[in-house]
A and B are shown apart, each in its own frame.
Chain A
Amino acid sequence: MPDLLLELFSEEIPARMQARAADDLRKLFTDRLVAAGLSYESAKTFVTPRRLTLAVEGIPVKQADLREEKKGPRVGAPQAAVAGFVQAAGLASINEATIQADKKGDFYVAVMERRGRLAREVIGEFLPQIIREFPWPKSMRWGSGSLAWIRPLHSIVATFGPATEEPDILAFSIGGIAAGNETRGHRFLAPQAFAVRRFEDYERKLEAAKVVLDRERRKQIIAADAKNLAFAQGYELIEDTALLDEVAGLVEWPILLVGSFDEVFLSIPSEIVRATIRNNQKCFVLAQAAPRTTEQSQAKELAPRFVLVANMEAQDGGHAIVAGNERVIRARLADARFFYETDLKTRLEARLPKFKAIVFHEKLGTQWERIGRIERLAASLAAKTGADGQRAARAARLAKSDLLTEVVGEFPELQGLMGKYYALAQGEDASVAAACEEHYKPVGPNDRVPTHPVSVTVALADKLDALTGFWIIDEKPTGSKDPYALRRAALGVIRLILANDLRLSLSQALRLGCSLHNSSNGGGVDHVIPDLLAFFAERLKVQLREQGARHDLVDAVFALGNQDDLVLIVRRIEALARLLATEDGKNLLSGYKRATSIIRIEEKNDRRAYVGNPDASLYRQSEEQALAGAIAEVRTQAASAVAHEDFEGAMRALATLRPHVDAFFDKVTVNVEDAELRENRLKLLNQIRDATRAVADFSRIEA
């Protein structure tokens, strides 16, 4: 069966768009192919800075033939109806239609046989549409044409045919470019055009023309060569997958070279050196080979070397390329050092007034106002977090100020970290400096959670201020939209509280946060707190489920209501899980289920609720007596244990109910003739339900 080779050869495609474009091309092509009734065995795409290539194997030569019958008007129908049918069915005259009879009479039927078309024609028709409608994030026009592509498109290879034959060139053209069978190699190393037949010789000839077609292979080459070069120099490569992805999209023929820079630049924070070399120059940095324990790549000392990935096998072995890159990096590092040293001349607090002119959100005021709120919130929260209140307030005050420094202006990803450096440099307490960095944390579900009380306090204040503020102005996340990352903020609060075992009432903290916002926004604060609590409950469920907690246990605890101490909620869930893992727990649960199902049925039949205390004088059997006694005992014990936050104790107490529940069901009949007795027994069963509510709503637990 025939194979297709398609190459769209253009000027340089932005690195960040390449992988996506390759996926899109494969999907668009195969979707159209299948929609046209054609199959394929395999489809692969490849992308380099200058070409987007699709190789599809095993496409049938032609579409299957189709036979379609179209029913027309009754024989003898008005002339207009017949004429309309003739036209709609594409017949020359009504004589071409057959006449078929059904129970209503004779009808004209047009039998249309559509011969399957040649695949190469079909593909040649839809390819231009795919190209014209290709979903580039941005596209452009060039010259006098109207075709839009990511950058000017220069040529198209489109061959189609079985392996054994000379393939056909698909007959289409777009934007003045006719599909052909010629492409070019590396821009400088093999610029001549050459003809290709199919994917196999195409890939081979490209390799000879200094183009590694497969992006994954380019990545492997770069990663391996970088490591080896570093090792040969006695250093270690600091691996960087994002950078690797990017540089693999900047070269067709990767050549790796090592350059060096002056050691004096190692005196500025290593993150600045790395950001300079990585972001601006797209080079890898190296670390001193550490004989001590590895693992902490951040703590590694940088080496005054970098690895660059060139797209060129230069005639002088890369001498000029290395020298050029070294000069640029030297100048960049000199700039970075200048920024850093300039920053050090201004104290962080001296920068704060500038925040008065920076709007955080039009309804939530300036950054200055936000910082003021975070500061007050941090000072109040300190009592709960065990932090020194003054330090927490100080840290909250300074934590955002590095946003206005030169280094962060240049490298936004260093926000927080630079705050720490500058805070230390101006003699702040170590906990204050650490909080400047850590108050953004945890950023994602895998980010580290701060543990120092000052950091924890400011991190909480930062997030609670945002959450309450956006809730008050009704900018809550909806569906997939969460422009202010509030889900992440709520999860951050949850993780901060749980990881640090912080005992606080979330509703109180939220009320505090709300109270600091401008009262003009506060119209609906009353509903804000319950709504936010529900949001937190939802986030906590997601979080606990991801950690493997049973969702029904989470629900069972939340169903108790009024739960706003996250630490206790989680402890309850854990204790509940342990109870249910025991034989007693399992049986208690099934006893509970049995009891509630009996009550539910009877309540439904009798249209009444069996609540209230049973009458002890109506107990006829010892099992009733025993169960009632046990329940009373367990209730007291469980309540006392819960009051002492001893959920294990409460569960243990509950577990002691089990033999009594079992015995009751063994020996006692609930639905007896005597209505009074029956009511009393149902009420007793209900006591089991009530007793378990001391720790959770057992009705939410799945058997």
Chain B
Amino acid sequence: MSSDLPPHMRPERSFQGLILGLQSYWADYGCVILQPYDMEVGAGTFHPATTLRALGPKPWNAAYVQPSRRPKDGRYGENPNRLQHYYQFQVILKPSPIDLQDLYLRSLYAIGINPSLHDIRFVEDDWESPTLGARGLGWECWCDGMEVSQFTYFQQVAGFECAPVSGELTYGLERLAMYVQGVDRVFELNFNGREGARKVTYGDVFLQAEEEYSRHNFEYADTDMLFEQFRMAEQACRRYIDAGWATVGNSRRHLLALPAYDQCIKASHVFNLLDARGVISVTERQSYILRVRELAKACGEAWLATAAGGADAYAGSAA
């Protein structure tokens, strides 16, 4: 594990070391190590490498860091552990291996959490994403009373039953890093593992951004523009979905599933911003969520008609 690394690279010494540790553990397992998706998302699950790849019959093992934005969670940098922008480390294994819990526990060991010193628990927490039309069963994983990960067996995504089932692990990186570094305030996390003048903290990197984006999310975000953007993204998504259907050979295929899904992600994030600005009433809120879900369902259906979605496997029977 980490003992043969130089101190500044160790997962328990730096935020980036923690990320590298998880990446190297899951790379060693055989995962594709992806980079973050280049769009604003509320959670790592929105990355097409999870949402879309969880659909269809093809095996898929991937891991990646995903910056995640939750506009409502901003606290102007004043709260010790709430952020409107944070990192998730996401692992998706399809089909879920039978030793997934052990794999997960070994990943904790790899980043410096020795299970013989800690109290690690799997506490019921079923996951549901109304906007993605997705749900799964699983737990939040507790280490000494702190939720450090979410562990989910996907049952349904975009309204489609998952078969085979994917196992999804989501590590809350800041919390985990605070835990292994023994820090109480997120901004005090050691980011680069150096000490003294060369030390860079999480606050050095992100505090100003938290302040500015909190202002933006709660006070300044241009709501007229955002309403317009929501409408545009929704329309574009529908247009790409409609345009993408084609007949290839004797099977029905979709040629624009990924670009259409981008617009679904976009609509979802814009909705989150509008929600943070408090301009969506409680009754309207439900209808916005439903509108995004409809997009997600259409994208899921489209994905299942692509090669990566397993359309090949069905090609013979599609007629």
Contacts and interface: CB of A to CB of B under 8 A. Distances in A.
B116 A315 contact: yes
B144 interface: yes
Interface stretch (B44-52, B120-128, B287-295): B120-128
A338 B155 CA distance: 37
A316 B97 contact: no
Given A140-B137, A140-B153, A324 B145 contact: yes
B115 interface: yes
A281 B283 CA distance: 33
B282 A312 contact: no
Contact of A188 (B97, B115, B153): B115
Nearest to B143: A324
Contacts of B121: 12, 250, 311
A327 interface: yes
A314 to B, nearest CB: 5
Contact of B95 (A143, A324, A325): A143
A49 B138 CA distance: 13
Interface residues of A, number: 45
A331 interface: yes
Contacts of B126: 138
Contacts of B232: none
Contacts of A151: 137-138, 153
Contact of B145 (A14, A140, A283): A283
B145 A308 contact: yes
Interface in B81-133: 81-82, 95-98, 100-101, 115-124, 126
Interface in A12-62: 12, 14-16, 49
B173 to A, nearest CB: 16
B79 interface: yes
Considering the complex of A and B, which 8 residue pairs feature the smallest CB-CB distances, nearest first? A324-B144, A14-B124, A12-B122, A325-B145, A310-B119, A357-B281, A140-B137, A144-B164
Interface of B: 79-82, 95-98, 100-101, 115-124, 126, 136-139, 143-146, 153, 155, 163-165, 167, 179, 184, 281-283
Given A143-B96, A144-B164, A325-B144, A358 B282 contact: yes
A141 interface: yes
Interface string A124-151: 0000000000000011111110100001
B137 A324 contact: no
A357 B97 CA distance: 46
A275 to B, nearest CB: 16
A369 to B, nearest CB: 14
A323 B79 CA distance: 21
A682 B278 CA distance: 80
B101 A329 contact: no
A320 interface: yes
Contacts of A188: 115-116, 120
A142 B153 CA distance: 7
Given A143-B98, A151-B137, A281-B145, A314 B164 contact: no
A16 B145 contact: no
B165 A320 contact: no
Which residue, of B100, B124, B163, has the highest number of chain A Cβ atoms within 10 A?
B124
A328 B98 contact: no
A334 interface: yes
A281 B121 CA distance: 12
A71 interface: no
A142 B155 CA distance: 8
Nearest to A281: B145
A314 B146 CA distance: 17
B101 A11 contact: yes
A247 to B, nearest CB: 10
A473 B281 CA distance: 26
29 contacts: A12-B121, A12-B122, A12-B123, A14-B124, A15-B124, A140-B136, A140-B153, A140-B155, A141-B153, A141-B155, A141-B165, A143-B97, A143-B98, A143-B165, A152-B98, A154-B98, A312-B118, A312-B120, A314-B116, A314-B118, A314-B119, A324-B143, A324-B145, A325-B144, A331-B80, A335-B82, A357-B282, A358-B282, A359-B282
Interface of A: 11-12, 14-16, 49, 138-144, 146, 151-152, 154, 188, 250, 281-283, 308, 310-312, 314-316, 320-321, 323-325, 327-331, 334-335, 338, 357-359
A582 to B, nearest CB: 61
A597 B82 CA distance: 81
Given A282-B123, A283-B145, A359-B283, 17 more contacts: A11-B122, A12-B124, A15-B123, A49-B122, A141-B165, A312-B118, A312-B119, A314-B117, A314-B118, A316-B117, A320-B118, A324-B118, A324-B145, A328-B144, A329-B145, A331-B80, A358-B282
A328 B124 CA distance: 19
Contacts of A320: 117-118, 144
A331 B167 CA distance: 30
Given A12-B122, A143-B97, A357-B281, A330 B153 contact: no
B164 A143 contact: yes
B282 A16 contact: no
A324 B120 CA distance: 11
B98 A327 contact: no
Contacts of A331: 80-81, 184
A329 B146 CA distance: 9
A15 B81 CA distance: 28
B117 A311 contact: no
A357 B153 contact: no
B120 to A, nearest CB: 7
Contacts of A328: 144-146
Contacts of B100: 152
Contacts of B143: 324
Given A143-B165, A325-B145, A357-B283, A311 B119 contact: yes
Contacts of B98: 142-143, 152, 154
A576 B253 CA distance: 83
Contacts of A144: 95, 163-165
A11 B120 CA distance: 14
A321 B124 contact: no
A328 B119 CA distance: 13
Given A152-B98, A321-B144, A328-B145, A142 B124 contact: no
Contacts of A152: 96, 98, 100, 153
Nearest to A146: B163
